[in-house]
Structures are given as structure tokens and as C-alpha cells.
């Protein structure tokens, strides 16, 4: 059952659990994510980026996910989401393809520019029943930083977040509290006080990007403070590549389905563990 992201996240916020937003790039990662959702009876967000559009073809990968969800997983609440759309044009393309949810990421731009384009995205998307995520603050990538990070330059300002949400009318908000994309070194301790203040002042669901490795109590902590969605990408990549590397190490396996299937099963196991950790298992 295809639904919008904010539909899933409002339910998660109401009932105190986190929905995972898992990045897909191909048939195997898509099937792994959806198999995990079915096994754990978990609502799920399957998302993709502009780079995945370039790799797989935007309409091709969207319809792969949609057809799989419609034909084989119709009893699971599933959203298909554009992750990190960097321009109005890309967001428009995704909406035209049929995406029920999109993210416009203007976090690398000046606040005024982020605000202006996000307003345009929200007007366009809402007119077509599409939900919108945006980002305030900056979740850094490894390529963007060198040396020690001054986290005050990156983290979400609560006052600015409130104004931004009020002026744009977005449905979900990605925030920065010391989280970081990929292998970028995160803040030693997330700014839980900042998260608590933002959550207390905003009624919409909050999202954390760059949280693939948030275990050891961190996921449970931010869940209790108001996070309703975790984006997971790096953990999927590591599981898939690790399984394929092991399968290919002997140089004897020539059955493509076995090789790729090993990656699919590894990703499914990783995603199932995340769903249990997030508290979404059994919620579908």
C-alpha cells in the first residue's frame, strides 16, 4: 500500500516509534528492504537520490519499487521518497514520475534561498497531494569537511526552524544535531537538548539523516525526544558490498543470481535489525 511519507511519520510520532527511510539503488536492495518490512511487519520508506536516477533511470527505478510494492507487498504501508533533491527541477521530475513524497535539500544554500525554493516546492507538491521534506541546519559529508568541525556552524537553530516551518508549510523537517553523512566523524555527543527544544516547539515529524550507525542507545534516546524517521544508506552499502566481496573472493562463483542474492540477503538482515531497533517492527 503506497502512502505519503508524512502519513507514516505522523503515525510514528503519535505512537513513539521511528520509521526507517532506506536508500535503494537496484532490484536487490529494493527487494531486501521490502522483504525486511514484510518479515517484521514494519511500515517503511524506500527512497532514492538523483545519483540513483542517473544510474538506474528515474522512471525505471521508481516503477520497479512501485510495482514491487503494489504486487507483492500490498499489505505493508510503503512510501516511495525522493531523497536530497537538490533543485526545483529534480523535484518536479520526481513529482511527474509519481513520487508521493519528495525532499528538497537547500541546506547548502543561504537561508533566504533555501526558504524561497522550499516555498515553491511546497506549493507545487501540495497541489498534487505530494508530501514535502526539507532541511534546516547542515548534515556534513566527508568531502565537505577537513580537520575539526565547528558544530555550531552546522546544527539546526531552533528559532530558525520554527520560522522556516511556519513560512513554508512543509510536512516533515530534517534537522542537524551533530549527525553526519557516510564516514564523516560525528559530534562526540549529539545535542540532545537542541533536539528536545526543537521537538517541543514544532508539531511536525522530525527526521535524522546520516544515522546509519546510531546504536548503543542513541536511536532509543532520540526516539524518546521526538525523532520519527531515520535515513539509512551507509549500512546498506556496507552490507551489500561485504556480502558480494565474500562471495567473489574464491573466484569460483559464476552464477550472477547467487552473487547478487547474497548481497540482497545481507541487506535484508541489516534492515530487519534496524526496524527492530527503531521500534517499527509489528506496526504494520
pLDDT for 145 equals 59
Residue with cell 547474497: 262
Is the separation of the CB atoms in 119 and 152 below 8 Å?
no
Q: Is residue 178 part of a domain?
A: yes
Is the separation of the CB atoms in 277 and 222 below 8 Å?
no
Q: Is residue 89 part of a domain?
A: yes
Q: Is residue 283 part of a domain?
A: no
Residue of 70, 75, 83, 191 marked active site: 83
pLDDT for 186 equals 65
Q: How many distinct helices (H) and strands (E) make up the chain?
A: 11, 8
Q: Is residue 75 part of a domain?
A: yes
Q: Is residue 284 part of a domain?
A: no
Per-residue pLDDT, averaged over 133-148, amounts to 72
Q: Is residue 160 part of a domain?
A: yes
| pLDDT band with cut points at 50, 70 and 90 for residue 140 | low
- The CATH number of the domain holding residue 241 is 3.20.20.70
Is the separation of the CB atoms in 160 and 197 below 8 Å?
no
pLDDT for 146 equals 61
Mean pLDDT computed over every residue of the chain: 91
Q: Is residue 265 part of a domain?
A: yes
| DSSP 8-state assignment for residue 226 | T
pLDDT for 141 equals 61
How far is it, in rounded angstroms, from Cα 224 to Cα 192?
A: 10
Residue-number span of the structural domain to which 138 is assigned: 5-278
Domain total of the chain = 1
75 is catalytic: no
Q: Is residue 163 part of a domain?
A: yes
Amino acid at each position: 500500500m503506497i502512502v505519503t511519507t508524512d502519513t507514516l511519520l505522523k503515525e510514528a510520532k503519535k505512537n513513539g516509534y521511528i520509521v526507517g527511510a532506506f536508500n535503494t539503488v537496484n532490484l536487490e536492495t529494493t527487494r531486501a528492504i521490502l522483504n525486511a518490512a514484510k518479515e517484521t511487519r514494519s511500515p517503511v520508506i524506500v527512497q532514492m537520490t538523483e545519483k540513483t536516477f542517473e544510474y538506474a533511470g528515474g522512471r525505471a527505478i521508481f516503477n520497479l519499487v512501485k510495482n514491487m510494492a503494489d504486487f507483492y507487498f500490498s499489505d505493508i504501508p510503503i512510501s516511495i521518497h525522493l531523497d536530497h533533491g537538490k533543485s526545483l527541477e529534480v523535484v518536479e521530475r520526481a513529482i511527474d514520475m509519481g513520487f508521493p513524497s519528495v525532499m528538497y535539500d537547500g541546506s547548502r544554500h543561504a537561508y533566504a534561498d533555501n526558504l524561497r525554493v522550499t516555498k515553491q516546492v511546497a506549493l507545487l507538491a501540495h497541489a498534487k497531494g505530494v508530501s514535502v521534506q526539507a532541511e534546516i541546519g547542515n548534515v556534513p559529508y566527508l568531502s565537505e569537511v577537513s580537520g575539526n568541525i565547528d558544530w555550531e556552524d552546522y546544527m539546526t537553530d531552533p528559532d530558525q526552524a520554527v520560522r522556516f516551518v511556519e513560512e513554508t508549510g512543509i510536512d516533515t523537517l530534517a534537522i542537524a544535531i551533530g549527525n553526519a553523512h557516510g564516514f564523516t566523524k560525528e559530534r562526540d555527543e549529539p545535542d540532545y537538548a537542541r533536539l528536545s527544544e526543537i521537538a517541543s516547539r514544532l508539531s511536525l515529524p522530525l527526521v535524522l539523516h546520516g544515522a546509519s550507525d546510531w546504536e548503543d542507545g542513541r536511536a532509543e534516546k532520540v526516539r524518546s525526544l521526538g525523532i520519527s524517521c531515520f535515513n539509512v544508506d551507509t549500512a546498506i552499502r556496507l552490507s551489500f558490498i561485504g556480502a558480494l566481496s565474500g562471495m567473489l573472493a574464491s573466484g569460483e562463483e559464476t552464477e550472477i543470481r547467487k552473487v547478487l542474492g547474497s548481497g540482497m540477503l545481507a541487506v535484508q538482515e541489516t534492515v530487519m535489525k534496524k526496524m527492530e531497533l527503531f521500534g517499527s517492527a509489528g506496526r504494520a
